[in-house]
Structure formats: structure tokens, C-alpha cells
Amino acid sequence: MTAVRLADVQKTFPIPSGGETVALEAIELEIGTREFVSLIGPSGCGKSTLLRVVGDLIQPTAGSVEVNGKPAHQARLDRDYGMVFQAPVLFDWRTVEGNVRLPLEVMGFAPSERDRRVREMLDLVELGGFRSHYPHQLSGGMQQRVAIARALAFQPPILLMDEPFGALDEMTRERLNTELLRIWAQTGTTIIFVTHSIPEAVFLSTRVVSMSPRPGRITSVIEIDLPQPRTDQTRESERYFELVTEVRESLRGRVSSSAARARAEGRIG
Amino acid sequence: MKARGGRILRTALGIGLFLVLVALAWEAFKFLGGDPWRLEGIGFFHDPPFRVLQANDRQLPHLWEIASALAQPVQRNQDQTLGQFLIGAALFTWREALIGFVLGALIGLALASIFIHSRLLERAFVPYVIASQTIPIVALAPIIVVGFGRGLVAVVIIATYLTFFPVTIAAMRGLSSPDPRAVELMRSYAASRWEIYRKVRLPAAVPYLFTALKLAATASIVGAIIGEGPGGVPEGLGRAIINFNQQYVSGPEKLWATIFIAGLVGICFFLVIQLAEVVTLRGRGGSASRA
Amino acid sequence: MSDAAEMARSPAPARSAASLLAARVLQYLPAALVFVAGIVLWEFAAAGTGRRVIPPPSAIAAAFVEEGQLLRRATTATFIEALGGLAIGTVLGVLVAFSTSRWATARGILVPVAIASSAVPLIAIAPILNNWFGILNPLSKMMMAALLVFFPIMINVTRGLVEVPPAALELMRSYATSEWEVLRKVRVPNMLPFFFTALKVGTTLTFIGAIVGEYFGGTSEVLGRVVITSMSSGSFDLAWAGILLGSAGAIVSYLVVALVERLVIPWYASLQREAG
């Protein structure tokens, strides 16, 4: 089944000095249910914009975005999305428990159901012992796990993650990668994951979508055929290194050609 | 540079817009609840539907009455107009405020510089710097006057007293704002405390200082106005407010005009500091103003 | 997964009560010593010949006892003015902030208002307020105090309602929530620390406002008047007693607000402890 279908999506932003920049151009992408798709590319390639277009946080200038067979806007109203940002965006005034409970409150879950799910989610991210801590009392990695628990609490069919582990150190990031895969396997959520770490994208994904900037477009889609479940051994397998190299080359080719184009434009302008 | 020049212009425009709004609200209030309007010149008569005490012609004169009062003699049988008198008084008060402002700023910066270098002194004295602001200065003014005699000195001391506090607090924050790594870098060059202060801390504190100086500018005017009464300084705005308050029944416009001029002095002083800020900080990136 | 390792950045939870107490004592000891030393020095420096401008603390203490009745009445009157002004200014400031924060244009006007209010010596209007609300009516002093309190409250509450991290709003948007829910769950809790900061500033301002109002005329049994009249009659000890009571009023109100802040937003205190 198709979870997300993007057809000829375009997004332009007006720039203050006049004119506009093309953030996304001719985006065609289909994502199946229970897939784990990473969007990767250099800064300014529009990967975060694309994620927000899928989540109906930004309206595309042209093209159609369909989620679970309906327009993205309807999908948002149906609460089909869980969002995780680069910053954990936890509310300082709520405890860990309170933060996870927030979406359940605004979505009108019954109190007993809220408590059950909060407990379940905190167990899922293994933070059961920290339910009454305030966010600032936790480390960055733990805060991000709370954010994941919050995003999953209302069991959205689609999880949108915008560089969720970008601010963490390498060791924490690898541990959370493994944990995210475990959660993905347990919950059966479709995940769209923005990152600029090539190893991370390869390790996590079923497919990696690489993008290039100015204008933001998809340059290649690479199938990641590493066996599931993925473990620390996966990171040491030969196929893993091959795929990392493949993704890197797909990005490098595009980066250098677009850089050349930028230089050429600079000479003309 | 262009953007910063624009900031001053925006502030001035914003304040202008604010004044226009106040003027509109003012006359609208009188239109609804004031005394009957009789504008003989243009043959306009209007009887407001309500009568509100605070909107009658004695409690809230028409703005044009206040404006025209500026051209009238300040007292009967005097050549000087109210406008001329008030401008003179404003300049006088400004001068007092300016001296207090400069002294207060220097004291504030000096105190902050000491406090950030000594944790012990900070703990011992900063609570009293903060508590000093809870002392009602109006009440303290007479004591200062008795202590230092009537005259300019007492007024300047009061202006200084109100000025040093915001500067001290902001300077402490500003001087300790540099990235600890920048200080470590200087240490690795074997720089002395004084060099670190001059080359890292002080430049970092400048934007904070300007934010405080803008508050201090107003505070120094407040101090000068309040000090003039008990200080027995007859030439300034503070005395004018007291005098015209006593003559309120016969000429409410005079008190209002004085209050407006006092507001104007505050705004002008504020804009002067902001101009200095723009000039000093031009070329610096980031946000120049910190609340 | 080892949470113990991840907790390295968070505070040691089991810091003993004794060491906490010791830290507290060390923090406040210098200020306390300065206080005691200041009183002792003041006593000796000011001791001796009759009534000076700055009488010794013992003389001021004596004035508290001798003029207890008068001081009590004056303090009560000024307190009522100040607290009334604080209440009026706070309520109006909060109302205006809530009603304007929804509209960007209203906020566009608010910024110059904020700047103008901090540039204008507002106290100059005290005599007008005395005329407007009756020079003998405590309301005239309350309005002066309220005017000083109003602007910081309005500005801070507006900032607190508006300056919400954009990602937090995106998050709420992804939940497809109503503006009302966003206000209730995000904007208001986000605003509370801003509000309490302004309220603490307001406690000082309101006493200054009330006493400035008194200074421009009114009933005689209020702190501002007691100071002025006792000064002109040479009773400096009584004048100082009045000044200290005014200052104490501001300090006590500040502490009460700080305490309420602790109770209402306990998370904020611990957040600040860690940031500082």
C-alpha cells in the first residue's frame, strides 16, 4: 500500500530582496506503508521543506501530496502524523510524562487511556524511571527519546523525523539508531527521516532518497537491501560499506555539478 | 548601515505613530464625554453625549488649547512665552540629567567591573545594589538635599542614583557574556586580566550597555524632575510642574504643556542614545538590542 | 541502554541536605556580614551629637517605637495604594496583552508604545492624576502606581504569548489543534515566567508610583508625606523610619511574588538553577 504519493511537487519561496528561490522542483516520490525512507543531501537542498510539505506544515506551490490516499491537509486533520524535530521541542513546564501526554490531551483521549499509553510509550523508549523528571534534567539523547515517545503516543501511521539525532554525539546517535529500528519494527509505523549523515541513512533505511540544492530536487533513490533486523554487525558488513559508498557518490556527483553551476552563474552575474 | 539607520527612523516613526494615537484617543474621549465643543473659527459646535469628569476642559484641555498656550506669555505682563520658558526649563533639566547620567553610567560600569572579577564582593554587595532601588527616591530626595545643601549637586546626585542601577546590572551581564572559550583563548595567549577585560569583555558588553543606557536616560530625567522640587532649583521642569500644578485651576494648559515637554525631553534623550548606539555598533552583526 | 551514563549531564539527585544548606549559607553569608557590619559602622559613625541627617540605627529604631501609631497608619495607607495600583496595573496589562497578542498589527503598534513608555518620564503626570481622581482619594495614587506597573506587565506578557519557539507551534499544528488549545497548552505556560519577571519589577515600581503620587499632594498620614513633613521639622529619625518602611514594603512584596512564582511554576526555578 502507498503511504505517501508526491506528484510533480514544487515549492518556491519569495526572497526579501525580491524574486524567489526554488526550494523544491519536480518532486516525484512514492513511499509504501511500513517503509523507512531517508532524505539526504547538503544544506539547502530542500529536504526539510519536503518533509514539511508531506506533513502539511508548508503548502506546495504546485503539485499534489497524497497521504494514505487523501490530501495531506486531510491527513493532518486526521492526525496521521507524528513529528520529531532536530531539537526535542519539549515543554519546560511539563514533566517527561506530561510531555508525552500532551498530544493525547489535545486529541481527547480518555484519562485512563492516556495513562496507559504514556506508560507504554515511556517503556518503549526505556525511560520508565524518569516519568516525573523535567526535560532540562535529562541529557540530550534522553530528551530526544521523550520526543519520540510523544510522537508515537497517539499511534500515528506516519512518523516524520527532521534530523532528530543531528545534535547528538556519535555514540548516542548509533544507540538511538538501533533503538529507533526496534521501535519501527514493533509499531509498524512508516518513517520519513531527514538526515545529513550518510552512514545513518544507510543503516536505518529501506530506501535512501538523495537530493541536490538550487533548485532542490531528487537526484537518485537507492534501495538499501541490508537484511533486517539490523544490528551492530550490520555496520561492519561489506554490503553496508558498498551502500555507503554508493550514496556518497550519488551525492558527490550532484554536489560538484551543482557547485560548478553556481560558479558559472556567479561569473555571469 | 542602511538597515540600522532605518531602525532609528522606525523608532522615531513608531513613537510618532504612538503620539498620533494618543492624540486621537484624547480628543475622542473629549468628543464623547467632555464639555461642549465651540470652535468659533470654523463654526463647529458639538454637545458630547456623556459628561465624564476626567474629560472636561479643566481636567483634559483640548490639545489645540495646550498648543496655543505655548505662544501665550508665561505669566501676565511678561514678555517670555510659555513655550520659550519651557524650552529653557527643559534644557536646564536636561543638563542636570546629563551630568547625573554620565556619573551614574561611570559608577555603574565601575561597580560591574569590580563585581564580575570578585565573586565575594558580588555576593556581598549586589543584593544591596538591588535593594537600593526599592528605596523610594522621592522620599530620599529631601534627605539628600539637607545633606548636600540646596542646589544643583543634590539634583545631580538623585539623577545619578536612579541611573547607576540599570547600568550596573546590564554591565554585569554584558561583561560576563563572552563565550568562556574566548576568555580561555586569551588566557592561552597569557593575556592579563586587564587585557581580557579591554579586548574581550568590554566590547562584548557594549550592546548590553546601550540597552541599559536608554533606560538610564529616562531615569536620569525622572531623577532631575523629582530632585528639583526639594532641591530648591527654580529653573527646571520639576519646579515648573509644581508651580503650574498650584495654578491648575486658572490654567490647566500650562501644566499639561509642561508634562508634554517633559515627555519630549525623555524621548529626545532616548533617541540621542539610540543614535549613539547605531553609530557605535555599526558593522556589528547580530541583534544590537537586548531586552 | 545505560541511562546512568546519559545522566552525567543532569544534577546529582542525591545531594545531601546538609551540603545544600552549606552552599546556601556560603552564598548568603557575605551579604549578611555586610549588613551587620554596615549597621554597626553606621551606628558608630552617626553616634554622638543630636539629630543628624543620617541618624544612627538605634535612633531610627526608637522612632519606630515612639511613633508606632503614626507609622502603622501611614504604612497601611501606602500599602493599600501600592497594592491597589499593582492590582489595577497588572489586570489591565494582562488584559491588553491578551487582546492584542493575536494580531500582528496590534503588536506592531505595541513595540513603539513600549519604547515610548520607557522613554517618557511617566511620573510627570502624577499631579494630573491627583486632579483626575481626587487628591485625597487613594485611587489617584493607585492610578499613578498602576501606570508604572502597566507597561512592563503588558510588554512582558505579550512577549511571553508571542515568543514561542516556532517548532513548538509546528508540533501543535501537526496535531491539528485549535488556536485555543495552543493558547492553553503552549502560549500561557510559556508566558508565565515572563509575567512573574514583570510582576517582580512591578512590586518595586508600584511603591515608587504610590509615593510619587503622595509627594504631589494628598492626605498627610501616608509614608511619603510623613517623610517630607518630619524632614522639614527636623525629625530625621522618623523620616528614615518612613523611608525604610517604604523600602521594606517593596522588598516584602517582591519576596511574596517570588514565593508565589516558586509555587506556580516550580519547573522554572530548577531550570534557572541549572542554567546559572
Question: B17-22 — which CB contacts under 8 Å span 24+ positions?
Answer: B17/C109, B17/C112, B18/C109, B18/C112, B18/C113, B18/C116, B19/C116, B21/C109
Domain chopping of chain A, boundaries:
1-71+192-252
* Nearest alpha-carbon partner for B220 in B93, B126, B122, B107: B93
Taking CA–CA distances from B244, the nearest residue in chain C reads C127
Specify whether B198 is located in the same domain as B75: yes
Q: How confident is the model at residue C268 (pLDDT cuts 50, 70, 90)?
A: confident
Interface membership of A130 toward C (CB under 8 Å): yes
Report the alpha-carbon distance of residue B146 to residue B231 in Å, rounded.
Answer: 9
- Residues B174, B132 share a domain: yes
With H, G, I as helix, E, B as strand and everything else as coil, classify residue B73.
strand
Same domain for B219 and B98? yes
Surface-to-core class of residue A174, CB atoms within 10 Å of its CB (0-12 exposed, 13-18 middle, 19+ buried): middle
Q: How many domains does chain B contain in total?
A: 2
ipTM, interface predicted TM-score of the complex: 0.84
Residue type, A197: S
Contact C119 B229 (CB under 8 A): no
**What average pLDDT does this structure show over A131-155?**
89
Cell 497578542, residue? C101
Same domain? B103 vs B202: yes
Instruction: Please tell me the pTM assigned to this model.
Output: 0.84
Nearest-by-CA chain C residue for A161: C171
Q: What is the pLDDT of residue B285?
A: 58
- Does the distance separating the beta carbons of C124 and B262 come in below 8 Å? yes
Question: pLDDT digits over C146-190, tens only?
Answer: 999 999 999 899 889 988 888 899 899 888 888 899 999 999 999
Would strands A190-195 and A158-162 be described as parallel, antiparallel, or unpaired? Answer: parallel
Instruction: Judge if B17 and B76 occupy the same domain.
Output: no
- Whether residues B277 and B216 fall in one domain: yes
pLDDT band at C11 (very low <50, low <70, confident <90, very high): very low
pLDDT digits (tens, 9 = 90+) for A250-263: 888 744 444 444 44
Tens digits of per-residue pLDDT, C67-87? 889 999 999 999 999 999 999
Q: By the 8 A CB rule, do B212 and B170 touch? A: yes
Confidence category of residue A78, pLDDT binned at 50, 70, 90: confident
Let me know if domain A1-71+192-252 sits in CATH 3.40.50.300.
yes
Q: Is the pLDDT of residue C2 over 50?
A: no
Residues B104 and B200 in one domain: yes
Half-sphere exposure of B277 (CA within 13 A, CB side): 24
**Highest mean pLDDT: which of A65-74, B89-98, B194-203?**
B89-98
* Chain A contact partners (≥3 CB pairs within 8 A): C
User: What residues of B are in contact with residue C29 (Cβ under 8 Å)?
Assistant: 123
Question: Do B5 and B37 sit in the same domain of this protein?
Answer: yes
Read off the DSSP letter of residue A25: E
Residue B214 domain boundaries? 61-281
Interface of C with A in 140-179 (CB under 8 A): 165, 167-168, 170-177
Q: How confident is the model at residue B175 (pLDDT cuts 50, 70, 90)?
A: very high
Domain ranges within chain C, ordered by starting residue:
17-46, 57-275
Distance from CA of B98 to the nearest CA of C (A): 15
The verdict on B231 and B106 lying in the same domain is yes
pLDDT for residue C16 is more than 50: yes
B145 shares a domain with B36: no
Nearest beta carbon to residue C246 from set B124, B136, B221: B136
Report the alpha-carbon distance of residue C70 to residue C73 in Å, rounded: 5
Q: Do C167 and A106 touch (CB under 8 A)?
A: no
CATH topology of domain C57-275: MetI-like fold (1.10.3720)
Same domain as B158, residue B37: no
Given C1, C10, C167, which is nearest A126 (Cβ)?
C1
CA of A56: which chain C residue's CA is closest?
C174
Closest by Cβ to B245, choosing from C115, C216, C228: C216
From the CA of A250, how many Å to the nearest CA of chain C?
Answer: 31
Give the nearest partner residue to C270 out of A76, A87, A134, using CB atoms. Answer: A134
Residues on chain B touching C132 (C-beta within 8 angstroms): 53-54, 59
Contact flag C267-A134 (C-beta cutoff 8 Å): yes
Nearest CA to CA, how far is C87 from chain A (Å)?
26
Task: Looking at the structure, tell me whether residues B124 and B222 fall in a common domain.
Answer: yes
